[in-house]
Amino acid sequence: MTEHQELELHTLPLKYQDEPLYMQLYLHLREGILAGDIKAGERLPSKRRLADDLKISQNTVIRAYQHLVDEGYVKALERSGYYVEELSLLYRPVETTSLSPPAQGEKESSKILYDFAYGGVDPKALPLKELQRAYRKVIGESQLELSRMPHEQGHEKLRLELSHYLFRARGFKAEPEQIILGSGTDYLMNLLFEILPEDALYAIEDPGFPRIAEALKQRKRRYKCLSLDQSGVCLSDLEKSQATILAVTPSHQFPTALIYPVNRRTELLQWAEESGRYLIEDDYDSEFKYATRPIPPLKSMDQKDKVIYLGSFSKSFSPAMRVSYLVLPKSLIHAYQNKQVLFPCPVPVLTQLVMAELIASGEFSRHLNRMRLLYKKKREVLVQELSKAKDYCAIEGADAGLHLVLRLKRARADHFAEKAAQAGIICYPMSDYSIQAELGERLILGYAQIDLAELEAASQALIKLLREI
């Protein structure tokens, strides 16, 4: 902020309407100064300017200003104007305390030694210079696009780049017309619930994302929770449920981290072939596979066009970008376009064009390759350290993604997480993601956000605590 910013004032509240005009202005300015909305050192608008903006007389402004000067809120400097006084001695505005709980990874940092959060990416590895360059370039060349509403499905450029990317990275062909951009998976799931038939019966994974169940509930859609065997949702449960739509995370089930094997995938695809059925495939962290040959997504095996594919840049780039996308089967494009009124795409045009630029320039791909190496190393360190405490815990599902699951052998996960938090180590009980399932002994450990250099110490600190409990 510049030293002597000039205050702008474009309206007078009506709450002082029984007072004369000069008094209304005085009271309003005084309130702003006392509350800190008008800051010490700021210059009040010139009399002429304010009279013009508020459509009142200059005399009214002069009277109000004089009142503020008389009471010491403001000082008049000759040939310069009126400036708000430093009020430190008179009054200190109360620091507003947050009413909301701290978001994940935002807890008081002074007490936290290590946070095994799984919602973020490695902060030090973000290509900031390239991001600056991409924003600079795109802002310079997109004047027109920056001045109007985005296309409701998202900008053509990004949908085209995504179409190429999906072919290369995930092995299937999606036309730009099938792609819809959204602000996060939640947004797109909600959109899907509007596109799909109202009387559909949804089946969702348990454990899974409770937010999905919540959204279904709020939209008054019917759903059933299906538990998982070691290969994911099983066909007999699915058939018993009578569901018509199944939502799954086959590449790396969240949160259990299991990978659906090919046979299970084929079974589910066959199930979906029946008329009116669909599979929703949430491929949220598919970019990261460490062990075996990568299993292609359901969508690439989808001969009958029954898979709705959800992808995201949250893991592959950053969750702070809030860009995810939907690939609709061709049979659903009309249902989408026939929605009586289409909502404009919620992703800022600039964000869309920057992501397109990063893909087109190859920067996204270079970044992903660096991240694959980095996360692979992190995973190795973590697995190596945790393997030293086999009596206390077992590792599950460390073959993909940016988190693994730790099954505790001698403690309940929620008790342990509480204890660990007191020692400055934050880890996450899987039971937070259970809708009905019993998961008392499992912890989710994310390793994207902890620095590689610190991960060994972090793992050792965790094990030390495990041994103490």
Segment 199-258, which members bind a copy of itself (CB under 8 A)? 210-211, 214, 218-220
Binding mask 90-129 for a copy of itself (x = CB under 8 A): ------x-xxx--xxxx----------x-xxxxxx-x-x-
**Minimum CB–partner distance for residue 223 and a copy of itself (Å):** 14
HSE on the CB side for 302, CA within 13 Å?
25
Return the structure tokens found at 426. Answer: 């934050």
Instruction: Pick the closest to residue 118 from 109, 105, 106, 108 (CA basis).
Output: 105
HEC sequence for 341-379:
CCCCCCCCHHHHHHHHHHHHCCHHHHHHHHHHHHHHHHH
* Least CB distance to a copy of itself at residue 53 (A): 8
């059925």: which residue's tokens?
277
CB of 360 to a copy of itself, least distance (A): 6
Candidate segments 34-42, 225-233, 385-393, 450-458, binder of a copy of itself by CB under 8 A? 34-42
Site mask for a copy of itself (CB under 8 A), range 141-180, x = bound = --xxxxxxxxxxx--x------xx--xxxxxxx-xxx---
**Residue selected from 31, 237, 396, 414 as contacting a copy of itself according to rule CB under 8 A:** 31
Alpha helix positions (H), 122-276: 128-141, 156-170, 185-195, 210-218, 235-241, 262-272
Contact status: 429 vs a copy of itself (CB under 8 A): no
Q: Which is nearer to a copy of itself, 35 or 62 (CB)?
A: 35
* Token duo for residue 122: 């490695």
**Cα–Cα–Cα angle for 401, 407, 413, rounded to 5 degrees:** 105
Site string for a copy of itself, 347-366 (x = CB under 8 A): xxxxx--------xxx--x-
Closest CA to 61 of 43, 46, 77: 46
Q: Out of 57, 59, 132, 230, point to the residue binding a copy of itself (CB under 8 A).
A: 132
- Which residues, numbered 46-85, are part of the site for a copy of itself (CB under 8 A)? 53-56
Q: Which of 319, 395, 440, 463 binds a copy of itself (CB under 8 A)?
A: 319
Tell me whether strands 307-312 and 278-282 are parallel, antiparallel or unpaired.
parallel
- The answer for residues whose C-beta is within 8 angstroms of residue 101's C-beta and 6 or more apart is none
Closest distance between a copy of itself and the C-beta of residue 129, in Å?
A: 9
- Tell me how far apart the alpha carbons of residues 404 and 141 are, in angstroms, rounded to a whole number: 42
| Nearer of residues 46 and 365 to a copy of itself, judged by Cβ | 365
Q: How far is the CB of 334 from a copy of itself (least distance, A)?
A: 9
**Distance (Å, rounded) from C-alpha 245 to C-alpha 232?**
16
Task: Give min distance, CB of 346 to a copy of itself, in A.
Answer: 3
**Residues from 255 through 314 that contact a copy of itself (CB under 8 A):** 262, 287, 289, 292-297, 300-301, 303
Q: Which of 230, 369, 384, 436 binds a copy of itself (CB under 8 A)?
A: 369
Q: Residue holding tokens 């991409």?
A: 134
Tokens of 208: 């899974």
Q: How far is CA 287 from CA 257, 333, 347, 356, in A?
A: 14, 26, 22, 18
> Which span sits near a copy of itself by CB under 8 A: 236-244, 272-280, 341-349, 452-460?
341-349
